[in-house]
Structure 1
Amino acid sequence: MASFLRRHAAALISLSAVLAYCAFIEWMWGWGRILAAWGAIGAGPVALALGLMIVTHLVRCLRVYDYFRQDLSGAFLRLFRVTQVHNLANILLPFRAGEASFFVLMRSEFSMPMARSAASLLWMRVLDLHALLAVGLIGLVAAAPFPFLAWAAWVAYCLLPIAGFAFQRPLFSVVSRRFPGKVARLAESVLSGLPQSWAPFFRAWAMTVFNWSVKVATIAWILTLLGAPGLAAALGGALGGELSSVLPAHAPGGVGTYPAGIVAGALAFGAPAGEPALSALSQAAVNAHLMVLVSAAAGTLLSLLLAPRAAPARPTAS
C-alpha cells in the first residue's frame, strides 16, 4: 500500500483536489445552479465562444509551425496534435509540470532536440505574457483618470517587443554581465530561441497578439453574459484567470486557482465587493473556467481526429 501511494502520489493529490473542489461548489451553490447559467445564455453564444477558443488553439499551433517551418513542412496536423496534448497537460498538471511535455512530444514526434524546442517555448512564453498583459490592461486604461497619458503608456508598453528585438544582443549582454549564473543562462536560452530576422518575429508577434486578443475577449464576453459587472471587470477577470494559469503555482486543472484569479482580477478592475455581487461573480468564474476546460478537451479531441497516424520521425537539424 505504501509503495502504491508513493508511485501514484501526484495523481491521488490531483484527484483529491478535483473532488474537493467539486464538493465545495456543490455545497456553496449546487452544480445544478451553476450549469443552469449556460441554458440562460443559449446554445448560439456558447457554440460561438467554444469555436473562438478552438481558433486560438489553431493560431498557437500555427505560430509553432511557422517558427519551425523548414523542419515541419507538411506536418501541421501532427503538430496540432502535439500542441493540443501539451496544452491539456499544462492545464491538468500542477506547478507548470505540463510544460515539459512539449519538449518530450516534439522529440518523440519530430526527433527535435529538447534544447531547441525548450528555447522556442521560452521565447513564445515571453511573448505570451507580454501580450496577455497588454490585452488585459485595456479595461484598466479605459477607466483611467488621465486617458491620454494612460493610452500613451499602454502603446509604449505594446511596442516593447520591437525595441527588445532591435536591441536584443546589447540587452542580453548587459543582463549576462550584471546577473551571472542562472539568470545569464536563462537569458542565453531566450536569445537562442529568438527568430533570426524581422519577418518571422513580426509573424510570431502578430499571431501572439491575435491569439490573446481573441481569447481574453471571448472569456470577458462570456463573463459579461454570466453576470460580470461591466467591461473593465470582465477584462480584469479574464486577465486574472489566465495569469493564474501561467504563474509557477496553480492547482491541477486550475480548480480553485483559475476562478479565484478571475474574481481577483475583476475586483482589481473595479467589480463591486458586496456579498451578492461577489457570489454572482464567483459563479460566473466557475462557469468561465468550465468553458476553458471544455475547449481544451474539444481541441485535443479534434486534433486526434484530424491528425494522421503517427509517421516515423524525421531527423531534425540541431
Structure 2
Amino acid sequence: MADFLRRHAAALISLVAVVAYCGFIEWMWGWGRILSAWSAIGPGPVALALGLMIVTHLVRCLRVYDYFRADLSGAFLRLFRVTQVHNLANILLPFRAGEASFFVLMRSEFAMPMTRSAASLLWMRVLDLHALLAVGLIGLVVKAPLVWPAALAWCAYCAAPILGFAFQKPLFAFVIRRFPRKVARLAEGVLSGLPSSWGPFFRAWAMTVLNWTVKVVTIAWILHLLGVPGFSAPLGGALGGELSSVLPAHAPGGVGTYPAGIVAGALAFGAGDGADVLTALSQAAVNVHLMVLVSAAAGTLLSLVLAPRAAQGARPAA
C-alpha cells in the first residue's frame, strides 16, 4: 500500500483536489447555476472561443518546431502530440511537476537530450512570462492617470527582450560572475537555450506574443460575456488566471488557484467591490477555468487523432 501511494502520489493528490473542488462549487452555488451561464452566451461564441484556444496550442507547437527545425523536419504532427500531452500534464499535475514531461517526451519521441530540451523550455518560459505581462499591462496603461508616460514605459518593457538579446553575452557574464551559484546556473541554462541568431529569436518572440495576445484577449472576451464589466477588469482577470498557471503556486488542474487568480486580477484592474460583484466574478472565473480545461483536453484529443502513434526509429537529435 505504501509503495502504491508513493508511485501514484501526484495522481491521488490531483484526484482529491478535483473532487473537493467540485464538491465546493456544488455547495457554494450549484453546478447547474454555473453551467447555465453558457446557454446565455450561445454556442457560436463558445465554439469560437474554444477554436481560438486551440489555435494558441498550434502556435506554441509551431514555436517549438521552428526552434528545433533542423531536428524535427516533417514531424510537426508528432510534435503537436508531444506538446499537447505536455500541456495537459502541466495543467493536471501540481506545482509545475508537469513541466518535466516535456523533457521525457522529447527524449522518447525524438531521442533529444534532456539538457537540450530543458534549456529550450526554460528560454521559452522566460519569453512566455514577459509576453503575458506585456499583454496584461495594457489594461493598466489604459487606466493610468498619465497615459502617454505609461504607454512609453510599456513600450520600453516590450522592447526589453530585443535589448537583452543584443547584449546577452555581457549580461549573462555579469549575472554568472556576481550572483549566487543557484542564480548563475539558471542564467547558464537560459543562455544555452537562446537562439543562435536574430531570425530564430524574432520568430520565437513573434509567436510568443501572438499566442498570449490571442489567449488573453479570448479569455477576457469570455469573461466580459459572462458579466465582468468594462475593458480593464476582464483583461486583468485573464492575466491573473494565466499568471497563476505559470507561477510555481499551481494547484492540480488549477482547481482553486486559476479562478482565484482571475478574481484577484479582475479586482486589481477595477472590477468593483461588494458581495454581488465578487459572486458574479467568482462564477465567471469558474466557467472560464472550465473552458481552459476543455480546450486543453480537446487539443490533446485532436493531437492523438492526427498522430496516434509514435514513429518507430526516430532519429537522434543533433
* Shorter-chain TM band: over 0.9
Map of 1:262 onto structure 2:
262
User: What letter is aligned with 1:316?
Assistant: A
Q: Give the % identical residues.
A: 85
Q: Does 1:79 align with 2:95?
A: no
Kept after mapping to 1: 8 A contact 2:95/2:248:
yes
Map of 1:131 onto structure 2:
131
- What is the rounded CA distance, in whole Å, between the counterparts of 2:159 and 2:261 in structure 1? 27
- What is the rounded CA distance, in whole Å, between the counterparts of 1:287 and 1:233 in structure 2? 16
Post-superposition offset of 1:313? 1.6
TM normalised by structure 2 equals 0.98
Map of 2:193 onto structure 1:
193
What does 1:158-173 correspond to in 2, within 5 Å? 158-173=158-173
- What is the rounded CA distance, in whole Å, between the counterparts of 1:143 and 1:119 in structure 2? 38
- What is the rounded CA distance, in whole Å, between the counterparts of 2:238 and 2:190 in structure 1? 27
- What is the rounded CA distance, in whole Å, between the counterparts of 1:103 and 1:47 in structure 2? 32
What does 1:6-85 correspond to in 2, within 5 Å? 6-85=6-85
> Per the alignment, in what secondary structure is the counterpart of residue 273 of structure 2?
coil
Q: Deviations over 1:163-203 (max 9, x none)?
A: 00000000000101111411111111100100010011000
Kept after mapping to 1: 8 A contact 2:176/2:184:
yes
Q: Does 1:148 align with 2:151?
A: no
The range that moved more, 215-224 or 175-184, is 175-184
Post-superposition offset of 1:231? 1.0
Cα gap change, 1:196/1:6 in structure 2, threshold over 3 Å: closer, same or farther? closer
What does 1:239-258 correspond to in 2, within 5 Å? 239-258=239-258
User: What letter is aligned with 1:167?
Assistant: F
Q: Does 1:281 align with 2:269?
A: no
Map of 1:120 onto structure 2:
120
User: What letter is aligned with 1:133?
Assistant: L
What does 1:82-97 correspond to in 2, within 5 Å? 82-97=82-97
Post-superposition offset of 1:9? 2.8
> Per the alignment, in what secondary structure is the counterpart of residue 271 of structure 1?
coil
> Per the alignment, in what secondary structure is the counterpart of residue 310 of structure 2?
coil
Q: Deviations over 1:241-292 (max 9, x none)?
A: 0000011121100000000000000011011120001100000000000000
Q: Deviations over 1:101-128 (max 9, x none)?
A: 0000000000000000000000000000
What does 1:167-246 correspond to in 2, within 5 Å? 167-246=167-246
User: What letter is aligned with 2:183?
Assistant: V
- What is the rounded CA distance, in whole Å, between the counterparts of 1:13 and 1:57 in structure 2? 26
User: What letter is aligned with 2:114?
Assistant: M
Kept after mapping to 2: 8 A contact 1:77/1:308:
no
> Per the alignment, in what secondary structure is the counterpart of residue 159 of structure 1?
helix
The alignment's C-alpha RMSD in Å is 0.9
Q: Which runs of 5+ in 1 are unaligned?
A: none
TM normalised by structure 1 equals 0.98
- How many residue pairs match? The answer is 317
Map of 2:293 onto structure 1:
293
Kept after mapping to 1: 8 A contact 2:123/2:193:
yes
Kept after mapping to 1: 8 A contact 2:11/2:93:
no
